[in-house]
Amino acid sequence: MSDEPAISVSGVSKTYRILRQEDKDSYAAEALVKRLRGARKRPEVFEALHDVTFDIPWGEVVGLIGRNGAGKSTLLKIINRITAPTAGRIELGGRVGSLLEVGTGFHPELTGRENVYLNGTLLGMRRKEIAQRFDAIVEFAGTERFLDTQVKRYSTGMYIRLAFAVAAHLDSEILLVDEVLAVGDSDFQSKCLRKMREVARDGRTVLLVSHQLQSVADLCSSALYLNSGRLVLHGTVEKALEEYKRSFVRAPTTGGTTTHRHGTGELRFEEVAVSADIVKPGDDVTVEFTIGANPLFGNRYFVSCLVNNEDGMVVAQCDSRVVDFWLDPSTDTQGRLTMRTPWLKPGAYTVDAFIHAGGQTADIWEQSCYFQVLPISPYPHMTASDGTDRGIVYPEFDYTQS
């Protein structure tokens, strides 16, 4: 490979114009009248990418990470020449093989065998070159039995396996991969990881988009972090992941102060906070609280915390009575709630804190603190998104055979 970078991106921006529903004309006459009157529509502008610049050398596996809407897939499509940038320039040092979406480059009416040759041809390979690698492609994909079946009858997993096998085995010097490692069983995922490492050892370059941070950490030698269409960092995987985690931090939301909240006010929370405001699914969530003393209040009391998701749904109630935890009002209290299960799904959560005493509610502090759960799977094996996207928590479970 030459000393020139495999991928050079210089000042790339991508802007989309969004026409609002109320700006659309229902009739041609209406549009003509507006034009004659000189009334011009001003569509809303959305900047998907802004002045992105970086170089990727040969032989690296580079992770492209960022939150939803950061511009990752848009950047890959521009590099792959599926869409053109609004501004800027991209230089590629070789042929590009890509796996961006299910079915890209495949014709549903053709068989798996025919699509291997079609996809290889689209990548610039000669028929002889494709034939030399055909057996390895089919063995890697594990679709031997269905080679002469139309791919429209393939499952999503079969589609992806065959498409990845074609892109990885053909002589493309640059491989672009967008969120496909979550498809297939653990054996196929391991094969994908090994193949991408092998591709990099051969001096070729891989650019990988994934929300599965374990895959990025295990596979990539460097990473790009995008946020709201801007390149924030191009460096080590550790630094990029740290920036990604920081993007989830925001000022804690509070539903009131210690003096302006609902309740009798006989006892009050002085402080409520989580010990770590960024956690992974499966991590303990610890809420620390301080309650001021009221020696004149004679009854012992209990506390309760509700954990709410972004939709306002209560996903867990942690009432101290059920674990026989009671507090003495005659002394200041520093307490701690530790929630070990369930495994919370990625997203933002708030905690409502309550003090109950003498049959009444002494204090209600809604949204007293806030924490974020990172998009990392707690399970030992990756799978397709439809294996975990339902439900509001990740359960801890096992399957056994009797």
323 inside domain: yes
pLDDT at 291: 95
160 inside domain: yes
My answer on whether 177 and 318 are in the same domain is no
My answer on whether 147 and 289 are in the same domain is no
Cα torsion 339, 345, 349, 353: sign = negative
My answer on whether 175 and 55 are in the same domain is yes
In 3-state terms, what secondary structure has residue 204?
coil
My answer on whether 142 and 238 are in the same domain is yes
Threshold 0.75, pTM exceeds = no
Low-confidence ranges of the chain (pLDDT < 50): 250-256, 258
Question: With pLDDT > 70 as the criterion, what percentage of the chain qualifies?
Answer: 84
Do 270 and 291 meet the contact criterion of CB atoms below 8 Å apart?
yes
* pLDDT tens figures, 28-40: 666 677 667 665 6
pLDDT at 161: 82
Peptide linkage before 342 cis (omega within 30 of 0): yes
My answer on whether 194 and 56 are in the same domain is yes
pLDDT at 254: 44
146 inside domain: yes
My answer on whether 69 and 182 are in the same domain is yes
| One-character DSSP codes across 8-60 | EEEEEEEEEEE--GGGS-SSHHHHHHHHHTT-----EEEEEEEEEEEEE-TT-
91 inside domain: yes
pLDDT at 51: 95
CATH number for the domain including 202?
3.40.50.300
My answer on whether 105 and 241 are in the same domain is yes
* pLDDT tens figures, 309-340: 887 788 999 999 999 999 999 999 999 999 99
My answer on whether 196 and 289 are in the same domain is no
Backbone angles phi and psi of 228, in degrees to 5: 55, 40
CATH number for the domain including 323?
2.70.50.60
260 inside domain: no
80 inside domain: yes
My answer on whether 174 and 280 are in the same domain is no
The domain in which residue 278 lies consists of: 269-373
135 inside domain: yes
pLDDT at 335: 94
pLDDT at 184: 56
How many structural domains is the chain composed of? Answer: 2
pLDDT at 54: 96
pLDDT at 253: 45
306 inside domain: yes
